């Protein structure tokens, strides 16, 4: 599986993502700088965590309008599996590829800890290997992870099985405890927690690993 990690000024989980992808897929990902207009064909595009453009204006707002995102949006709309973690999730909502927005945590605290989540839908290309897992533990590290969307959108997300992950405890005020969602087509996933930081026991756990193996299995 060939993958790409998009790197913005201020990304800081791009190397974590690259390590996870290389360890799990066996192939070093392409690191793509935000000023690029295009990049080699890949099977999987990852938008990493961090504080791209210093979170200026709104988290992810500047990155969503960068050169490289025009290409990422085009490929995601063509069906290329696209995965945004933390700041990457914020970028995906800012582009409109995923509905809703990530707002300041309701308690105003930066939250940095391992959190328990339920896998709400194991019938997606990102979650199929979690079938049978009642809960998983993955770290979060964010100040703006409070997922917001209007009630109609939330109802639609729930009804269509687009809620992929839900927090088991309220950590940031997210509407309906939403930690991660997919688009309607199912090829785009955005989530606040960091599965790439939980890929082997030496990292404190390996609950994040199945996300990447699910995609690998789907892509064959």
Residue among 52 and 118 whose Cβ is closer to other proteins: 52
Catalytic residue numbers, as ranges: 86, 194, 196
Q: State in angstroms the smallest separation of the CB of 10 from other proteins.
A: 18
Judge whether 63 and 94 are in contact, CB under 8 Å: yes
Could you tell me the smallest distance in angstroms from the CB atom of residue 95 to other proteins?
Answer: 11
Quote the DSSP letter at residue 84. E
| Residue number, 105 or 127, with CB nearest to other proteins | 105
Nearest to 63 by CA among 9, 135, 141, 144: 9
CB of 175 to other proteins, least distance (A): 9
Residue 39: exposed, middle, or buried by beta-carbon count in 10 A (0-12, 13-18, 19+)?
Answer: middle
CB of 146 or CB of 182, closer to other proteins = 146
Of the two residues 87 and 146, which places its CB atom closer to other proteins in the complex? 146
- Where are any strands of DSSP class E within 8-130? 30-33, 44-47, 82-85, 101-103, 111-119
Sheet with strand 111-119: strands edge to edge: 30-33, 3-7, 44-47, 82-85, 188-191, 178-182, 163-167, 111-119, 136-142
Q: Which of the 8 DSSP states describes residue 53? A: G
Which residue lies nearer to other proteins by CB, 39 or 148?
148
With 0-12 / 13-18 / 19 or more C-beta atoms within 10 angstroms meaning exposed / middle / buried, residue 158 is: middle
Q: Which residues bind other proteins (CB under 8 A)?
A: 57-58, 61, 65, 93-94, 99-101, 103-108, 146, 148-149, 173
| CB of 63 vs other proteins, minimal distance in Å | 12
Q: CA 188, CA 203: separation in Å to the nearest integer?
A: 26
21 class by beta-carbon count within 10 Å (0-12 exposed, 13-18 middle, 19+ buried): buried
Please report how close the Cβ of residue 40 comes to other proteins at its closest, in angstroms: 29
């Amino acid at each position: 599986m060939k993958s790409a990690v998009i790197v913005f000024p201020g990304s800081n989980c791009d190397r974590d993502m690259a390590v996870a992808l290389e360890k799990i897929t066996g192939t070093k990902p392409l690191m793509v700088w935000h000023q690029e207009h295009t990049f080699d064909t890949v099977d999987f595009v990852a938008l990493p965590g961090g504080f791209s453009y210093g979170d200026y204006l709104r988290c992810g707002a500047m990155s969503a309008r960068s050169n490289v995102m025009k290409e990422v949006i085009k490929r995601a709309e063509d069906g290329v599996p696209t995965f945004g973690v933390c700041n990457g999730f914020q970028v995906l909502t800012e582009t409109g590829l995923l509905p809703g927005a990530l707002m300041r945590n309701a308690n105003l605290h930066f939250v940095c800890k391992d959190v328990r989540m339920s896998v709400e839908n194991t019938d997606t290309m990102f979650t199929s290997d979690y079938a049978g897992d009642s809960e998983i533990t993955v770290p979060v590290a964010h100040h703006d992870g409070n997922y917001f969307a209007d009630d109609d959108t939330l109802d639609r997300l729930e009804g269509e099985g687009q809620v992929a992950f839900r927090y088991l405890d309220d950590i940031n005020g997210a509407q309906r405890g939403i930690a991660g969602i997919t688009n309607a087509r199912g090829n785009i996933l955005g989530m606040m927690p960091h599965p790439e930081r939980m890929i082997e026991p030496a990292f404190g756990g390996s609950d994040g690993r199945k996300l990447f193996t699910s995609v690998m299995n789907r892509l064959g």
